[in-house]
């Protein structure tokens, strides 16, 4: 029985990246032997155990054989006879198929070290096409490692296209698709995640609404711009600013509902935005997106054009926007709304100064309005609905005075 550090932990050590999780493979052991040593079995489909002290995952060496469709269509074979090389060569990429023994010696049957040195994401064999999830994983690894100079090997991208065209991506569960999107968008270079999916035709299968954006342009920022390219540039900006995953998802969906937005700036604020008949909500429902992500994406898709033009709006309409965004109760989300707008505005340098000024105006207006305390009006003897009216009027005065300063 021998234990080896494998996969991402070895890869990240070699790249000088902080290792968050360590996974191990155990060769020459049975389930009984693992249990006798107080390992806790947690794997349902194949034998995976938690170490009795470190709680790190230890999996018995295994092989896989395709016998169905999708990510779960495999027969797993784990036994003491399965070798380390057999376990490593079933993996997706060469850089993920390196092991390290207790002495620190590297076992590299797939030449992953060479691909690490050459900064290449390369599949191990044509068996790569058996698991559609690998398309999303490669896109995520590209997002994780682009800043180190990694590229996807052309022959690997070709196999990813083959998977996309096979229709097997539709066999993935919504939860698993969302999990990969969330992780990919939270990597160092989230734009590479989306771009890679687009290049291998997977975006057309997984998020066709966004795929269409790479073939359309609009004048949202007063400059005709390809919407897909704007999305990639804004994601890159958001990552550099360390913006949240919710902001990054809102960037991805910011133009999805552009055709259904009201053209009139006042109507945009006063119209009921909570209709269930819109693309952003449909995507959130389809992919089982958490509410925090979906709600922010909906706000941005609906109100971004107003935010860009806010300085030209009347104080009452600006207050209505803050009401519609629930800014008073959800100030952190409103902050994310403004950060999303900033990221998108950054893609249009011709008008960025003017448009960023509008966002700064909205931020200051909210801070001033939010500092108005209803208790002051109660102390002055105002009661009932008049309290709310007094607060709103005071907020309008604040915004009017602020407009004169911008």
Reading the block at residue 142, the tokens are: 């590209």
In DSSP terms, 3 is beta-bridged to 26
Instruction: Indicate the SS3 state at residue 358.
Output: helix
Residue 7: partners with Cβ closer than 8 Å, 6 or more residues away:
23, 91, 96, 97, 98
Report how far residue 78's alpha carbon sits from residue 28's, in angstroms, rounded to the nearest whole number. Answer: 10
Per cent of the chain over pLDDT 70 is 89
User: What are the pLDDT digits (tens) for 96-113?
Assistant: 999 999 999 999 999 999
Report how far residue 26's alpha carbon sits from residue 62's, in angstroms, rounded to the nearest whole number. Answer: 9
Pairing of strands 106-107, 99-100: antiparallel
> If we measure between CA atoms, which residue out of 151, 237, 116, 249 comes closest to residue 194?
249
Q: What is the mean pLDDT of residues 248-264?
A: 77
Report how far residue 346's alpha carbon sits from residue 275's, in angstroms, rounded to the nearest whole number. Answer: 30
- pLDDT class of 75 with cuts at 50, 70, 90: confident
Report how far residue 8's alpha carbon sits from residue 144's, in angstroms, rounded to the nearest whole number. Answer: 12
At residue 188, the pLDDT reads: 97
Q: What is the mean pLDDT of residues 163-170?
A: 94
Number of neighbouring beta carbons within 10 Å of residue 266: 14
* Mean pLDDT for all residues in the chain: 90
Q: What is the mean pLDDT of residues 35-58?
A: 90
Report how far residue 254's alpha carbon sits from residue 213's, in angstroms, rounded to the nearest whole number. Answer: 10
What are the percentages of helix, strand and coil residues in the chain, rounded to 5? 55, 10, 35
Is residue 247 within 8 Å of 338, Cβ to Cβ? no
Res 263 pLDDT > 80: no
136 versus 380: which is more confidently predicted? Answer: 136
> If we measure between CA atoms, which residue out of 272, 171, 191 comes closest to residue 232?
191
Is residue 321 within 8 Å of 310, Cβ to Cβ? yes
Residue 170: partners with Cβ closer than 8 Å, 6 or more residues away:
205
Res 266 pLDDT > 80: no
Can you give the pTM of this predicted structure? 0.90
Res 57 pLDDT > 70: yes
The distance in angstroms from the start CA to the end CA of the chain is 72
At residue 194, the pLDDT reads: 98
At residue 267, the pLDDT reads: 55
Reading the block at residue 186, the tokens are: 């939270």
Q: What is the mean pLDDT of residues 356-369?
A: 93
At residue 45, the pLDDT reads: 66
At residue 222, the pLDDT reads: 61
Report how far residue 216's alpha carbon sits from residue 228's, in angstroms, rounded to the nearest whole number. Answer: 8
At residue 255, the pLDDT reads: 87
Q: What is the mean pLDDT of residues 159-167?
A: 96
Q: What is the mean pLDDT of residues 195-206?
A: 97
Q: What is the mean pLDDT of residues 155-184?
A: 96
Pairing of strands 48-50, 40-41: antiparallel
Q: Confirm or reject CATH 3.40.630.30 for domain 1-118, answering yes or no.
A: no
- pLDDT class of 60 with cuts at 50, 70, 90: very high
Report how far residue 13's alpha carbon sits from residue 120's, in angstroms, rounded to the nearest whole number. Answer: 17
Is residue 205 within 8 Å of 168, Cβ to Cβ? no
């Amino acid at each position: 029985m021998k234990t080896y550090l494998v996969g991402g932990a070895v890869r990240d050590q070699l790249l000088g990246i902080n290792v968050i999780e360590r996974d191990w493979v155990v060769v020459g052991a049975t389930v009984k032997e693992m249990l006798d040593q107080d390992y806790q079995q947690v794997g349902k489909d194949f034998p995976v155990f938690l170490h009795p002290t470190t709680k790190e995952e230890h999996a018995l060496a295994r092989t896989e054989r395709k016998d169905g469709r999708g990510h779960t269509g495999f027969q797993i074979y784990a036994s003491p006879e399965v070798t380390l090389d057999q376990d490593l060569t079933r993996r997706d990429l060469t850089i993920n198929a390196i092991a390290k023994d207790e002495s620190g010696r590297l076992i590299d049957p797939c030449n992953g070290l060479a691909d690490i040195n050459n900064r290449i994401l390369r599949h191990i064999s044509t068996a790569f096409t058996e698991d559609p999830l690998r398309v999303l994983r490669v896109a995520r690894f590209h997002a994780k490692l682009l800043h180190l100079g990694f590229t996807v090997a052309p022959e690997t991208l070709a196999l990813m296209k083959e998977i996309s065209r096979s229709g097997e991506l539709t066999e993935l569960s919504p939860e698993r698709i969302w999990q990969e999107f969330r992780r990919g968008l939270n990597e160092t270079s989230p734009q590479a995640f989306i771009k890679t999916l687009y290049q291998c035709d997977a975006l057309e299968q997984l998020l066709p609404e966004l795929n269409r954006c790479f073939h359309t342009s609009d004048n949202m920022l007063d400059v005709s711009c390809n919407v897909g390219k704007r999305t990639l540039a804004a994601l890159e900006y958001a990552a550099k600013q360390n913006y949240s995953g919710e902001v990054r998802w809102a960037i991805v969906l910011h133009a999805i509902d552009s055709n259904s937005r009201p053209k009139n700036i006042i109507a945009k604020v006063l119209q009921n935005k909570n209709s269930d008949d819109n693309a952003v909500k449909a995507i959130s429902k389809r992919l089982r997106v958490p509410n925090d992500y979906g709600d922010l994406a909906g706000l941005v898709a609906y109100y971004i054009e107003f935010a860009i033009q806010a300085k030209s709006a009347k104080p009452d309409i600006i207050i209505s926007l803050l009401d519609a965004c629930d800014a008073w109760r959800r100030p952190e989300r409103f902050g994310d709304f403004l950060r999303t707008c900033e990221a998108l505005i950054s893609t249009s340098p011709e008008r960025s100064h003017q448009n960023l000024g509008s966002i700064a105006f909205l931020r200051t207006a909210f801070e001033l309005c939010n500092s108005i305390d209803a208790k002051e009006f109660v102390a002055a003897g105002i009661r009932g609905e008049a309290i709310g009216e007094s607060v709103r009027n005071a907020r309008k005065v604040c915004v009017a005075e602020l407009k004169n300063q911008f």
